[in-house]
Structure 1
Amino acid sequence: MSDDETTDPKHLESGEGAPVPDKAADTPATRTDDDPRSADLAQHTGGGRVPELSAADAEPVQIGERRGMFGATRGQDTTGYGGLVTPTLMPGASPRPYGSFFDEVADTLAVALADGTGYESAVERVVVDRGEMTLFVRREHLLEVAHALRDHPGLRFEMCLGVSGVHYPGEAGRELHAAYPLLSITHGSRRIRVEVTCPDSDPHIPSVVEVWPGNDWHERETWDMFGIEFDGHPALTRVLMPDDWPGHPQRKDYPLGGIPVEYKGGTVPPPDERRAYT
Structure 2
Amino acid sequence: MELSDTLKSVVDGLSENHSDQLLDVYQSTGDTFIRVVPDAIVEICKVLKNKHHFIYLADILGADRFTSEERFEIIYNIVSLRNRERVFLKVWLEEENPTVDSITDVWKSASWHERQVYDMFGVHFNNHPDMRRIYMPEDFNYYPLRKEFPLLGIPGSIELPSSTPDTE
Aligned runs of 1:122-271 on 2, under 5 Å? 122-152=21-51, 155-170=52-67, 172-187=68-83, 189-258=84-153
Distance 1:120 1:98, change over 3 A: farther
TM-score, length of structure 1 as denominator length = 0.53
Aligned runs of 1:59-98 on 2, under 5 Å? 98=2
Shift of 1:161: 1.1
Secondary structure at the aligned position of 2:134 is classed as coil
Distance 1:246 1:121, change over 3 A: same
**Identity percentage of aligned residues:** 27
Shift of 1:256: 2.6
Runs of 4+ in 1 over 4 A off after TM superposition: none
Greater Cα radius of gyration, structure 1 or 2: 1
Identify the structure with bigger relative contact order (alpha carbons < 8 Å, sequence gap 6+). 2
State whether residues 64 and 73 of structure 2, in contact with CA within 8 Å, keep that contact through their aligned partners in structure 1.
yes
Partner residue, 1:79: none
Is there any run of 5+ residues in structure 2 with no aligned partner, and where?
156-168
Shift of 1:243: 1.4
State whether residues 114 and 125 of structure 2, in contact with CA within 8 Å, keep that contact through their aligned partners in structure 1.
yes
Aligned runs of 1:38-77 on 2, under 5 Å? none
Matched residue pairs, number?
A: 154
Is there any run of 5+ residues in structure 1 with no aligned partner, and where?
1-96, 261-278
Higher strand share: 2
RMSD between aligned residues: 1.8
Partner residue, 1:33: none
